[in-house]
Chains A and B, each alone.
Chain A
Amino acid sequence: MAAEDETWVELALTVFATHSMNRFADGLGIGPDFRTGGEPSTPYLSPVVESHASQAVQRVYRDIKAFYELERVPGVYQVMARNPAYLADMWTFNKLVFQPGRLSRRDKEFIALAVSAAAYSPYGIDFHLREVRRLGADDRAIYEVMAIVHHFSGLTAFAECLQLEPDMLPRQL
């Protein structure tokens, strides 16, 4: 596979991992992990708290906390842990997707923030905003991400409204 193709696949996998986790979190009413204030929310399914988790789940939890440099496990993973095997596989997938490759870890988090904002995921916006800041992004960089989301959300709606046909087949890009 050409290097450029590998980059596009990494981009698509970042969209996959982000969008799927956001849908799981928002669909189950899992509240933001970092944002303070507002009404505390109770998920529609109860989480597997660390103190009651099996040893296998606790191993995954430790890995998640180390990866994100957190004291506690993000809520989305605590609910996903209701099925330990599913949690283990999806965490392995997410960790591999977000590790540096053709794209840097931080660039992947910028993409994840954009995906979260474009799909309006309260959980994802909160999570990935924390991540880009932790990885060194300043307000200027965050504004630039949101300006791209703003402009392309409008452009894509315009194109869909008029049912404009794509200009190029993907392989011509």
Chain B
Amino acid sequence: MSTVRLISEQEATGAVKAYFEAVKKRYGMDWVPNLSRAIAYRMDCNAPRSRAYARIIAPGALSRALKEMIAVAVSAVNACDY
């Protein structure tokens, strides 16, 4: 159980609602991940972070698939279940 109440899609308005829609579109999902529902409390912080993320995860010298695998490996050594 998370230590904060996560923002639901139903209550999202304005920039948060737009962010949730963008996340769903990016991942091809019909729901919003818990991390997005938590970080959306601070859209002023999340906007630049989200832009930076989109830049680094996009294919470049490394493929998108390899970058996702590297992300999983980093999460593993950081002992993060999420």
Q: Does A49 contact B (CB under 8 A)?
A: no
CB-nearest residue of chain A to B72: A11
CB-nearest residue of chain B to A142: B61
Are A118 and B74 in touch, CB under 8 angstroms?
yes
Q: Which of A103, A141, A153, A156 contacts B62 (CB 8 A)?
A: A141
Bound Cα distance A164, B33 (Å): 10
Residues of A74-131 at the interface with B, using a CB-CB cut-off of 8 Å, are 103, 107, 110-111, 114-115, 118-119
| A contact residues around B73 at 8 Å (CB) | 11, 14-15, 111, 114-115, 118
Interface residue count for A (Cβ, 8 Å)?
39
CB-nearest residue of chain B to A137: B61
Are B70 and A165 in touch, CB under 8 angstroms?
no
Looking at chain B's contact residues, is the secondary structure mostly helix, strand, loop, or mixed? helix
Interface residues on B, range: 20 to 34
Are B82 and A160 in touch, CB under 8 angstroms?
yes
CB-nearest residue of chain B to A160: B80
| A contact residues around B80 at 8 Å (CB) | 156-157, 159-160
Bound Cα distance A157, B1 (Å): 16
Are A167 and B34 in touch, CB under 8 angstroms?
yes
Instruction: List 18 contacting pairs A-B, 8 Å CB cutoff, sorted by A.
Output: A11-B73, A14-B73, A15-B76, A19-B77, A110-B62, A110-B66, A114-B73, A115-B76, A118-B77, A144-B60, A144-B67, A153-B78, A157-B80, A159-B34, A163-B3, A165-B2, A165-B82, A166-B82
